[in-house]
Structure 1
Amino acid sequence: MDDRQFRNVMGKFATGVTVVATQVDGKVHGMTANAFMSVSLNPKLIVVSIAEKASMLEKIKQSKSFSVNILAADQQELSMIFAGQLKEHREVQFDWLGGIPVLHGSLAQITCEVSASHVEGDHTLFIGKVKEINIVDSEPLIYFSGKYRKLAEE
């Protein structure tokens, strides 16, 4: 199988859309990611997968903390900003939860300390020990087959 075929198959798994954020030297950094999942309830652990070529990799290694911001249906533009799909500069508002930057208005915010990291293939898996969470009642932004989607009403 070639890389494109593999990517197409993986794209058939509908996911939520997140922005992973951290702070290094007083500056907030973020990237769009859909490779995120919960790992454990006790202790509360999550995992994010960051490409070895992503600048965010070194930022998380330096800060040893990060947030995962689950985007709401009206936050597609934020996903595009942090995925590098919008080239013009846009101001992004961050809030703070437990001293870690979180995206204003996101559906859910999870702040973590890195408890472990594992290099697998061309990615590093960061296991995050959950420190604080925040959730609002809203609809999620969905990504499926290379396109942003919204949940349909039944």
Structure 2
Amino acid sequence: MMRLVDHGIDDRLFRNAMGSFATGVTVITTENAEEVHGMTANAFMSVSLKPKLIAISIGENARMHQHIKEAKQFAVNILSSDQLTESKQFSGQLNLESEFTFLNYKGLPTLEESLAVVTCELHSDYVVGDHTIFIGHVTGVKLQQKDPLVFSKGKYRELKELEDLKE
């Protein structure tokens, strides 16, 4: 294994730089031992079209890490702009007494008002630093016509359309 050298970059500076990249917001869900588990994440990307593969990155200390390893499947719920409460609940920013309603799609619990849902079987996983990158083989996709929930620089944001530039 290649040994990586720490170049002395300040942790806060690095986090701030990475946080300046605007992302969508997802809630990763799975079911393990007949219990639904969810976690807000923005480390998500498409990997391949043939075969259809996606990747999520989960910290080694997150409870979801072990749930995915055991369940060997997960869903990525891409949140719509009206799902701020869900994002905050599954990131631990809120502790609501009420429970969320999950829909079963392709055998996995999913959030019903999501912009998109991608269900996956675990294809492979790679430990990289203090995270594991889980590669999911896509088993299902649902899409609704909604605006996405966006996160950048530590804040939730909304999209606005820019006028086309005229030459």
TM range (shorter): over 0.9
- Is residue 155 of structure 2 the alignment partner of residue 132 of structure 1? no
- Residue number in structure 2 paired with 1:12: 20
Percent identity over paired residues: 53
Answering whether residue 92 of structure 2 is matched by residue 89 of structure 1, we say: no
The worse-fitting range, judged by mean Cα deviation, of 80-89 and 61-70 is: 80-89
The size of the alignment, in residue pairs, is 154
Coordinate RMSD, CA, aligned: 0.8
Measure, in 2, the Cα distance between the counterparts of 1:91 and 1:66: 20
Superposed structure 1 runs of 4+ greater than 3 Å apart: none
**1:66 counterpart = 2:74:** yes
Matched, 1:40 2:48: yes
Gaps (5+ residues) in structure 1?
none
Q: Secondary structure of the residue that 2:66 maps to in structure 1?
A: helix
TM-score (structure 1 length as normaliser):
0.98
Report deviation, 1:2: 1.2
C-alpha distance in structure 1 between counterparts of 2:151 and 2:63, whole Å? 23
Q: Higher strand proportion, which one?
A: 1
Match of 2:110 in 1: 102
Distance 1:96 1:103 in 2: 9
TM-score, normalising length: structure 2: 0.90
Q: In structure 2, what is the equivalent of residue 142 of structure 1?
A: 150
The structure having more radius of gyration, on CA atoms, is: 2
Between the aligned partners of 1:130 and 1:90, the Cα distance in structure 2 is: 31
- 1:122 matched to 2:135? The reply is no
- Distance (whole Å) between structure 2 residues aligned to residue 110 and residue 93 of structure 1: 17
